[in-house]
Amino acid sequence: MADEIANKIFIYNSLSGKKEEFIPINKNLVGMYVCGPTVYSNVHLGNCRTFLTFDMVYRYLKYIGYQVRYVRNITDAGHLENDADEGEDKIAKKARIEQLEPMEIVQAYTVDFHNVMRSFNALPPSIEPTATGHIIEQIEMIRTIMDKGLAYEVNGSVYFDVKKYSEKNNYGELSGRKLDELREGTRELDGQSEKRDPIDFALWKKASDQHIMRWQSPWSDGFPGWHLECSVMSSKYLGDQFDIHGGGMDLKFPHHECEIAQGKASNETSPVNYWMHGNMLTLNGKRMSKSTGNTLLPHELFSGENELLEKAYHPMVVRFFMMQAHYRSTLDFSSEALSASEKGYQKLMAAIETLDKLSFTQNEFNDAEDTAIVGLCEQCFAFMNDDFNTPRTIATLFELVSKINVYAKKGSIDNISEKTSNLLSETFRGMVFDVLGLKDIQDRKQGPLDGVMDILINLRKEAKLSRNFELSDKIRDELSAAGIQLKDSRDGTTDYTIN
Ligand code: AMP
Ligand code: ZN
């Protein structure tokens, strides 16, 4: 893209509660950190929404010419049940129930996460560090915080001293929470007797005999507190102060509030310049969440195997559905909304196909038409620059679709200059493919298996039409035995998935 970055981007910073102009610390390398998944179960569609939001942010920054170092961690230790400071490690618990090694759980769900992200066409981050790979650095950071007098040890565990920290800092600056309210909220919980103050949080926990995920430290055989890994890995790879930190809204407190406190305590600087929080994907009006079971899994959508769904949806349709909402708005999942997104997605793809095929008739700059197209192309950028407003960018793309369809009827682009025609093509394709991260589903149809499957699906359809159910069932069953599932939709089409 542009050699010189002309775009002024405004980002809503959760810390100030305002949109602020994005001025990176180092304009040659933007640092972005996003809290990754805790790998003890399959990622649900809500998790995917947050990761796809930051994939879009990463893509857009790159598209307008920034180099970005994007770090997204894998939480593979230290995240306890109920996001608390007491209780079993989420991964260890799953390992105990399934009678597996914790690292087998970590591996299985990391692989699942990567597969899901790939199916959504998400770009891999520049670095994907793990908590267990950074135990030494976590111990180092605890030492530093203790040396500054802002953490204390009790019975082999180390806690962050929130009250002491608050003498010079504002614990609650991100979440807006007040210390007294927090104290009242935490007092009823058990198991906090070790802490000097119930609002203190764990940096290191001594492991009980049953706790299998444990490491040696100067204080005990134990494990790091959940908030520490992100402070350690972000500062290690992006510096003590970096540009963008992202995650879902639910991570604002305590996770990100604690990250700010740890960063300031150890490095005497606020670690992050722009805090970005994505809003929640809801299902039946309630937050999609692993703990309540109110979830939809990506593979259920791709196969259509969930009672909420009338049919299967391609990952690109689901991605488009997510991009149609602003990342700071809640988004409610419904089959109807997905169907509408499918139509919209197909319209966009059809417009690109048309654009590729249309011939161009040489023209002078046409005041009305050239100006209109240039204006719409600029608007796409203007909306993206305004806190990554993908829904308004998409609405603008649809205005361009109307223009393209008029050209299609005429058979050629005959009333704009070549320069504008090129701008139209570049902007449209750039926004759809590079920024929104969509791919044409037809790519998928180009493999040799797709051709064979089309033949088999049509044979089965013909067999059904001639009431030869023996043959139609045979085709379905034998494909199933070979690991290929056919899925009939209510609209009469048939798709397939491979097990
Ligand atoms: P977890 O693996 O639970 O730590 O979550 C991974 C990411 O998904 C975090 O950034 C969460 O904030 C985010 N997340 C969890 N539930 C939802 C949801 N329903 N909608 C959007 N993001 C979510
Ligand atoms: Zn984190």
DSSP states of 52-121 as a string? HHHHHHHHHHHHTT--EEEEE-BB-S--BGGGSSSS-BHHHHHHHHHTS-HHHHHHHHHHHHHHHHHHTT
**pLDDT score recorded for residue 362:** 79
Alpha carbon of 213 to those of 129, 228, 251: distances in Å?
18, 16, 24
Which residue's alpha carbon is at the smallest distance from atom 12 of ligand 1? Answer: 248
For residue 82, the model assigns a pLDDT of 77
Residue pair 307/319 in contact (Cβ under 8 Å)? The answer is: no
Distance 469 CA to ligand 1 centre (A): 46
The CATH class given to the 2-278 domain equals alpha beta
Neighbouring-strand partners of residue 484: 498
> Of the bound ligands, which one is closest to the alpha carbon of residue 73?
2
Q: How far apart are CA 291 and CA 84, in angstroms?
A: 14
Q: Provide the pLDDT for residue 6.
A: 82
Locate the ligand 1 atom nearest the alpha carbon of residue 280 and give its number.
Answer: 20
Q: Which residue has the tokens 């249309």?
A: 358
Two tokens, residue 497: 């998935």
3-state secondary structure of 88: coil
Distance, CA of 31 to CA of 426 (rounded, Å): 27
Ligand 1 centroid from CA 485, angstroms: 30
**Which residue shows structure tokens 């690991």?**
483
Residue 408 neighbours by CB under 8 Å, 6+ apart: 354, 358
Question: Are 49 and 331 in contact, with CB atoms under 8 Å apart?
Answer: yes
Per 3-state DSSP, the chain is made up of helix, strand and coil in percentages (nearest 5) of 50, 15, 35
> Closest-lying ligand to the alpha carbon of 233?
2
Cα(485) to ligand 2 centroid in Å equals: 38
Q: How far is the CA of 202 from the centre of ligand 2 (A)?
A: 15
Q: Residue 50: helix, strand or coil by DSSP?
A: helix
Ligand 2 midpoint to CA 231 (Å)? 8
Both tokens of 460, joined, read 């089965």
Measure the CA–CA gap between 159 and 201, rounded to whole angstroms. Answer: 5
pLDDT, residue 289, reads 93
- Nearest alpha carbon, ligand 1 atom 8: 47
Q: Which of 83, 250, 253, 327 to mutate to test the pocket of ligand 1 (most atoms within 8 A of CB)?
A: 250
| Residue 247: its H or E element | strand 242-248
Joined together, the tokens standing for residue 353 give 């196909």
Q: What residue ranges line ligand 1, CB within 6 angstroms?
A: 35, 37-38, 46-47, 49-50, 247-248, 250-251, 278, 280-281, 287-289
**Cα–Cα distance, 105 to 163 (Å, whole number):** 37
**Using CA atoms, how far apart are residues 316 and 310, in angstroms rounded to an integer?**
17
Sign of CA dihedral 383, 29, 120, 446: positive
Query: Looking at the DSSP assignment, which residues form a beta bridge with residue 154?
Result: 157
d(Cα 371, Cα 403) in Å, to the nearest integer?
A: 13
Ligand number nearest CA of 282 is 1
Q: Which residues does 462 contact at the CB level (< 8 Å), separation at least 6?
A: none
Distance (Å) from CA 37 to ligand 1 centroid: 8
With a CB cutoff of 8 Å and minimum separation 6, the contacts of 391 are 323, 324, 325, 326
Burial class of residue 175 in the structure, from the number of CB atoms within 10 Å of its CB (0-12 exposed, 13-18 middle, 19+ buried):
middle
55 in Cβ contact with 65 (< 8 Å): no
**Residue nearest to ligand 1 atom 15, measured at CA:** 47
Q: Under CATH, which number does the domain 282-435 receive?
A: 1.10.730.10
Q: Are 488 and 476 in contact (CB under 8 A)?
A: no
How does DSSP classify residue 243? Answer: E
In the chain, domain spans: 2-278, 282-435, 449-498
299 is written with which tokens?
């593979």
Do 220 and 202 meet the contact criterion of CB atoms below 8 Å apart? no
C-alpha–C-alpha distance, residues 13 and 276, integer Å? 6
Ligand 1 atom having least distance to the Cα of 36: 6
What is the bridge-based pairing of β-strands 331-333 and 281-283? parallel
CB atoms within 10 A of CB 467: 9
CB atoms within 10 A of CB 161: 23
Closest ligand relative to 36 C-alpha = 1
In angstroms, the CA 477 to CA 481 distance is 6
Q: Please name which ligand lies nearest the alpha carbon of 254.
A: 2
Q: What's the gap in Å between 265 CA and the centre of ligand 1?
A: 27
Residue type, 186: T
Mean pLDDT per block of 10 residues along the chain (499 residues) reads 75 98 97 96 96 98 98 90 82 90 94 97 98 97 98 97 98 96 72 84 94 94 95 98 98 97 97 98 93 93 90 96 98 94 96 92 87 97 98 98 94 92 97 97 62 86 90 93 84 74
- The tokens 């933007």 sit on which residue? 30
Atom 17 of ligand 1: nearest residue by CA position: 46
Vertex 118 angle, CA 116 and 119, to 5°: 65
Do residues 288 and 295 lie in contact, with contact meaning Cβ atoms separated by under 8 Å?
Answer: yes
The reported pLDDT for the residue numbered 492 is 73
Let me know if the fold of 2-278 is the same as that of 282-435. Answer: no
Distance between Cα 222 and ligand 1 center (Å) = 26
DSSP per position, 387-454: T--HHHHHHHHHHHHHHHHHHHHHTEE-SS-HHHHHHHHHHHHIIIIIIS----HHHHTTSHHHHHHH
Distance CA(160)–CA(362), nearest Å, equals 69
Quote the tokens at residue 217. 């430290």
The continuous run of DSSP H or E covering 375 comes out as helix 367-385
- Distance of alpha carbon 41 from alpha carbon 113, whole angstroms: 9
3-class DSSP state of 258 = helix
For ligand 1, atom 7, which residue shows the shortest CA distance? 47
Question: Which residues, including other chains, have CB under 8 Å from residue 300's CB and lie 6 or more apart?
Answer: 306, 309
